[in-house]
Structure 1
Amino acid sequence: MNRQILKIAIPSIVSNVTIPLLGLVDLWISGHIGSADCIGAIAVGGMIFNMLYWLCGFLRMGTGGFTSQAYGRGNVEAINHILQRSLRMAFGLAFAFILLQQPLLRFSLWVMKSSPDVSIMAGSYFRILIWGAPAMLGIYSLTGWFLGQQNARVPMVVAILQNVINILVSMLLTMYFDWKVEGIAVGTLVSQWIAFFMYIFFPLTNHRPIDVLWCKLSSQAELPWGRFLSVNRDIFLRTLCLVAVQLFFTATGAVQGDTILAANALLLQFYILFSYVMDGFAYAGEAIGGKAYGAKDFSMFQSLTRNLFVWGIGLMLLFTIVYVIGGNGLLQLLTDKRAVIVIAQDYVPYVVFIPLTGFAAFLYDGLYIGTTSSRLMLIAVALAAASFFLLRFLLFPMFGNGGLWLAFLTFMLVRGGVQAIYYHRIFGIKN
């Protein structure tokens, strides 16, 4: 079982690490070829797309859960149906984004309240990169489809190649053709579409998506549209809860001043670093757990859960030790702004508890997604979000930023705790 877990977890961790690199590459290039306004425009534009695509994460999760179950049953036609259905939804959402790009852009710039110069350049960046929406959302569906078939190698290779192409094309257009923000956007757009077509025609698997898209399937799909939509709806609402907590956490930091805002942004990197690793094991739980669910093999599911939590507890202890010993050193690696470091150091004792309070939620997420127990996952996150907002209003006036961090740690602890309570119901739950 451990070999199966690592076969999916390790490539998934590598893929996760490459995700922020796309945005970092754009910022790095803008920092070398443009003004501060150029850097701000890339940051604002990237944030808009991060939010849009994060809300569409159900395409990967729902597709992965349903595919892994069909894989466990050995039902190839159901696997193919799921991909076709997921890509239809992905392209439908993408074209809606393209049609509504102007109101989306205006609303996003209004929320972020950027300067006129930054807004103009961010608009140029957005209007180019929005044409990559079909590719990006298609990639979400295809990533889930491959993971559902226990294949994490293809997503890893595509993610690495996508970053390499993004770097090369963006540098070519900005440094040799002087395209500025437009060159960065086009470079990212080209990498997105090439990555999508790599998925479609990928030679490293015998079950290529292009063959699935052209094949004729029976007229009656095994998976009803209602079930498909309800699971994706629950995952979407769950993501909205996560977004609300993150936005309110950031906003509460902002009202305390720029230094606290910057310090919290640095401290959240402790959470993000931990999440990249834990998500890899969550993906393993999703793929293998869904396979066991589809095959109705409860003993395999229990064995998977035990092994996942052995890994989770080990990683929790490792990260806790690293943060206790090297937390202050990590802050100094992230920035050289002394005032921000001094403030952030006061809150390192809080982030040391991120692994302890958060590891279970990541692992349970994978098991819940694999069994498509989306309603229970939504309930858990909604209750955790409610606890965050309640404690934020109670503790922040008394303890300031420390109260905010206590509310965030409680959010993670409640999320995992509620999922633990419902765990016995997820093997066979009906949404």
Structure 2
Amino acid sequence: MKSKLFLRLNKEIWALALPNIISNISVPLLSTVDTALMGRLSAAHLGAVGLSSMIFNFLYWNFGFLRMGTTGLTAQSYGAKDFEQIMYTLWRALLLGLAIALVLFVFQNPLSDLAVLALQVQPGQIEMVKSYFFIRIWAAPAYMALLTITGWFFGMQNAIYPLILTAAVNVINIGLSFYLVNYQGMEIRGVALGTVAAQYFGCALGAVLFFIKYRGITFRIRWSRLFHMDTFHRFLLMNRDLFIRTVLLTLVFGFFYSQSSTFGVLSLAVSVVLMQFINWMSYGVDGMAFAAESVVGKYAGAHDELASRKAIQLIFAWGLLFAVLYAAMYGVFYQGLFRVFTNEMDVIMAGMDYRLWMILIPLLGFASYIWDGIFIGLTASRSMRNAMILPCIVFVVGYYLFQDTLGLHSLFLALTVFLFARGAVQTWMYWRKGLEMK
């Protein structure tokens, strides 16, 4: 009986994880191409695109709760076979996403000034960073809608449509960016414009895919049900907690980039390249985390505790395997992979001292990514929020303790400890409360 359950769960996990892994690998491929395009212009361009991307990572990743919250709530409604709540979850998230995009439009000028100040952008890079910002901000409505519809598809146990969306958006983005940078001479503006056009295309494609498969469960919206006090309040509280958690996470990476720039343009360029290594690792491991969101959420909604616990065990085992593979790949092919991102010899030479961190981060940090997916499936948003507090403190204190003696290495030490601490705190929370976490 148990072996049949494991086989069934493995099949479900991989049906969701494999498309997610393929999809997620294409995500850092996009930033890899952007980095490579700018890295062949100058170290200043390389640093500018890293900082510009960080601004939108801060703005947009903070609203990643639209995808996470939508996935968790939809998966639980799917497990409970509550198709009315499935659709209301989608509409609530879409409305919230459009409201967020409107706020970003209204405050785009002060946001750009604040971002430049917070990231301590060097004077010679401010014009490039702002040029990127004021173009890419126009993709906000499409991006929020994409987050929502992607999360909804995941909750419906459908990882194929998100793969199609991600692949289409990234192919168009890469092609347009390459053309605009290399053939139109638009430099960093070409990278931004390629992103905007691709995301609106993805939004339209998402709507088409939805109506192809799910038009049968659509129904006339009753506004009183859409904004029903209890369910809407739960929706807002969950998204509030996820928002706070994501803000803290993004502040950590924002602080990382900001402090990298204080060591000089060369150190910032090295950090931008090494962050691509971390992106490759995180998106690979996140394939399993996304599967956890959908599978654990479905069985939590169906109140099947045995299947939920066994799914968690299997997902952790696969996550560990991925972490070991990434660590081995970075250890063996570090120099060759580094050269993919830049041909600037001074950047390459400076980056050769950081191989150890790229080996340790997958091994010590993978658990935090897997737990995030599990917590989302359980809609344990409050626990996700609380699990960020201590690791954030450890990150900042650790950096300042070793800043003077280790230089840029102090940032990678602090980041490694931060990721490990997150996984440790989340493990402790699950050990205490199990599937009853909130």
Shorter chain as denominator, the TM-score bin is 0.7 to 0.9
| Structure-2 separation of matches of 1:327 and 1:181 | 27
What corresponds to 1:335 in structure 2?
342
CA distance in 2: counterparts of 1:298 and 1:73, whole angstroms: 14
Matched, 1:2 2:10: yes
Q: Unaligned 5+ residue runs, structure 1? A: none
Task: Choose the corresponding residue for 1:427, options 423, 429, 435.
Answer: 435
Asked if 1:409 corresponds to 2:416, the answer is yes
**Residues 1:131 and 1:269: Cα distance change in structure 2 (over 3 Å):** closer
Per-residue deviation, 1:111: 4.0
- Cα distance, 1:95–1:417 mapped onto 2, change above 3 Å: same
Q: Does 1:201 align with 2:208?
A: yes
Shift of 1:349: 2.1
**Post-superposition offset of 1:53:** 0.7
Greater Cα offset, 173-182 or 275-284: 173-182
Give yes or no for the alignment of 1:143 onto 2:150: yes
Equivalent residue, structure 1, for 2:324: 317
Q: Is the 8 A contact 2:44 2:265 kept in 1?
A: no
Q: Residue 95 of structure 1: which of 98, 102, 105 is its match?
A: 102
Shift of residue 344 of structure 1? 2.9
Tell me what 1:17 maps to. Answer: 25
Aligned residue among 105, 118, 139 for 2:112: 105
Shift of 1:216: 2.7
Count how many residue pairs are aligned between Structure 1 and Structure 2: 427
Output the TM-score relative to the length of structure 2: 0.86
1:129-149 deviation digits (Å, cap 9, x = unpaired):
323211110110111100011
Query: Which of residues 137, 157, 167 in structure 2 aligns to 1:160?
Result: 167
The alpha carbon displacement at 1:346 in A equals 2.7
TM-score by length of 1: 0.87
**Percent of counterpart pairs with the same letter?**
36
**1:6-155 superposed matches below 5 A:** 6-23=14-31, 45-112=52-119, 119-120=126-127, 122-155=129-162
Q: Give the corresponding residue for 1:252.
A: 259
- 1:349 aligned residue: 356
Structure-2 residue corresponding to 1:220: 225
Give the 3-state SS of the residue equivalent to 2:224 in structure 1: coil
Alignment deviations for residues 360-401 of structure 1 (CA, whole Å, 9 cap, x no partner)? 111111000111111111121211111112222223334444
> Which letter does structure 2 place at the counterpart of 1:101?
Q
User: Using the alignment, how far apart are the partners of 1:321 and 1:35 within structure 2?
Assistant: 31
The RMSD of aligned alpha carbons is: 3.1
What letter corresponds to residue 48 of structure 1 in structure 2? I
1:289 is matched with which residue? 296
Give the conservation status (yes or no) of the 8 Å contact 1:200–1:208: no
Q: How far off its partner does 1:182 sit?
A: 6.1
SS of the residue 2:198 aligns to: helix
Distance of aligned partners of 1:183 and 1:339 in 2 relative to their CA distance in 1, 3 Å threshold: closer
For residues 145-195 of structure 1, what are the alpha-carbon distances to aligned partners after superposition, in whole Å with 9 as ceiling and x for unaligned? 000111111011011112233355566777888877666554432321121
Q: What is the distance in 1 between the residues matched to 2:388 and 2:56?
A: 23
Residue 306 of structure 1 corresponds to: 313
Q: Which runs of 5+ in 2 are unaligned?
A: 1-8
Q: Which amino acid aligns with 1:215?
A: R
1:62 alignment partner AA: G
Whether contact under 8 Å (1:371, 1:426) holds in the other structure is: no
Find out whether 1:389 has 2:396 as its counterpart.
yes
Contact kept, 8 Å, 2:252 with 2:392, in 1: the verdict is yes
2:138 alignment partner, SS class: helix
Q: Which moved more, 1:414-423 or 1:185-194?
A: 185-194
Measure, in 2, the Cα distance between the counterparts of 1:258 and 1:35.
11
Asked whether 1:241 is paired with 2:248, we answer yes
Check whether the contact 2:36–2:341 (CA below 8 A) recurs between aligned residues: no
- CA separation of 1:189 and 1:328: change in aligned 2, threshold 3 A: closer
Pick closer, same or farther for the CA change 1:173–1:397 going to 2, 3 Å: closer
- Alignment partners' CA distance in 2, 1:208 and 1:412: 41
Secondary structure of 2:288's aligned partner: helix
CA distance in 2, matches of 1:29, 1:350: 25
CA 182–249 in structure 1, closer or farther in 2 if over 3 Å, else same: closer
Mean Cα displacement is larger for which, 403-412 or 413-422?
403-412
AA aligned to 2:138 is: W
